Amino acid sequence: MPYELTDSIVNELWQESEQKGQAAWADTDTEAIDWATLPHIGRLWQCHMPLQEGLELEIQEWEMLEALWHNGSSEKEPDLGFGLTFCLSGKVTTQIHGLTDEIEEPIGYYNFCSHSEFRETEHWQAGEPFRRLYLGVNPFQVFADYTPQQRQQLPRELQQILAGDRKPFFHYRVITPEMFQVVQQILLCPYSGMFKRIYLQAKAQELMLLALLPFVDGGSKVAPSKLTPDEVDCLHRAKNILINQLAAPPTLKELAQKAQLNQRTLNEGFQQTFGTTVFQYLSDHRLGVARQLLTTGDLRIEEVAQQVGFAHRGYFARAFRKKFGFSPKAYRQQHKKSGE
């Protein structure tokens, strides 16, 4: 039976873990980060970043020890207007009472939803890491300088909010390859401090644009996918396998077997879903993680290369230079200078 989760229970578990040294938080000028290992819940990491007036970014990563369910009011502030939630991994079902039936949050999709004070019930399944990226938007602030004519080009739902109509809405759409690439750039942000905020503000605005375009009359039309929802789920499982096994990834045949796909569907579906090939995605993610390790840790370059799956420093250095325009050593030195 799922473990019932309430805000008061979370606070109690957090205090218990904090006393054991298993929970902590950090609050800087640019972000607030919580991380902990909580009884029943498992490991969690979440980061909240206000990027500009009316625009905030939140990343949630949880690893459930057991199935959980939460029944309460929405956590999002109604005055934000609307949110865009990108479902990247995990098994979750949601019901916003009075607005939706119980629906599964499909991996590889995002929802475009008004903020309200409806009661919300969520069920999280154990066994698979849960990751979500969320953009909260106050359209009165983000679109404050838009003329009436410019506002007419926004999605109908946003025009209604700006006109004072608080009619709730909830829509699902597939995450396109273009959106997915921006999501990855956000998750692998190479900067820190002020430059991180500037970079993420630009990427969040780009992601918001791509996510809203399908709802604009006469806007961007996304070709219908020939993949089934189960196949999309399997493709995201394959992606997560690559992420979790950077140092020793499976062969293409092994990956297809683990993801429960045939190799043709894996190859063609991966390209269609993520806008790149399996091995190009693996290479890009390895280099992105390496870039983070070079700027946030004290590992030697050889150790960074080995940690992300490059057996030879020379090959790692060539791939890194081709991707970022600097050698790993020069990139680390440049980052240190920019932080001084």
Q: Give the CATH number of the domain where residue 97 resides.
A: 2.60.120.10
Q: Give the CATH number of the domain where residue 297 resides.
A: 1.10.10.60
Q: Is the pLDDT of residue 74 over 70?
A: no
Token pair in block for residue 276: 């790149």
Place of tokens 């004519």: 149
Residue ending a domain, among 180, 215, 250, is: 215
Give yes or no: residues 143 and 31 share one domain. yes
Residue 244's SS3 state is helix
Give yes or no: residues 61 and 186 share one domain. yes
Could you give the number of structural domains in the chain? 2
Q: Would you state the pLDDT for residue 305?
A: 92
- Residue 134 CB neighbour total at 10 angstroms: 18
The pairing of strands 68-73 and 3-5 is parallel
Give yes or no: residues 36 and 128 share one domain. yes
Give yes or no: residues 82 and 133 share one domain. yes
Residue ending a domain, among 185, 215, 245, is: 215
Q: Is the pLDDT of residue 117 over 50?
A: yes
Give yes or no: residues 131 and 236 share one domain. no
Give yes or no: residues 277 and 206 share one domain. no
Classify residue 331: in a domain, yes or no.
yes
Q: Could you tell me which residues come within 8 angstroms of residue 98 by beta carbon, excluding any fewer than 6 positions away?
A: 118, 119, 168
Instruction: Report residue 79's pLDDT band, with 50, 70 and 90 as the boundaries.
Output: low
Classify residue 21: in a domain, yes or no.
yes
Residue 329 to residue 16: CA distance in whole angstroms: 43
Give yes or no: residues 72 and 33 share one domain. yes
Distance from the first to the final alpha carbon of the chain: 53
Residue 317's SS3 state is helix
Annotate 324-335 with three-state secondary structure. HCCCHHHHHHHH
Classify residue 302: in a domain, yes or no.
yes
Give yes or no: residues 312 and 262 share one domain. yes
Classify residue 220: in a domain, yes or no.
no
Q: Is the pLDDT of residue 3 over 50?
A: yes
pLDDT in tens, 9-37: 888 888 888 888 888 888 887 889 898 88
Give yes or no: residues 74 and 115 share one domain. yes
Residue ending a domain, among 160, 191, 215, is: 215
Residue 35's SS3 state is strand
Q: Would you state the pLDDT for residue 91?
A: 77
pLDDT in tens, 124-160: 777 777 889 999 999 999 999 999 899 999 999 999 8
Give yes or no: residues 158 and 73 share one domain. yes
Residue 111 to residue 168: CA distance in whole angstroms: 13
Q: Residue 149: which domain range?
A: 3-215
Classify residue 221: in a domain, yes or no.
no
Find the helix or strand (DSSP H, E) in which 18 lies: helix 7-19
pTM: 0.75
Residue 113's SS3 state is strand
Give yes or no: residues 200 and 238 share one domain. no
Average predicted confidence (pLDDT) for the chain: 84
Give yes or no: residues 171 and 236 share one domain. no
Classify residue 314: in a domain, yes or no.
yes
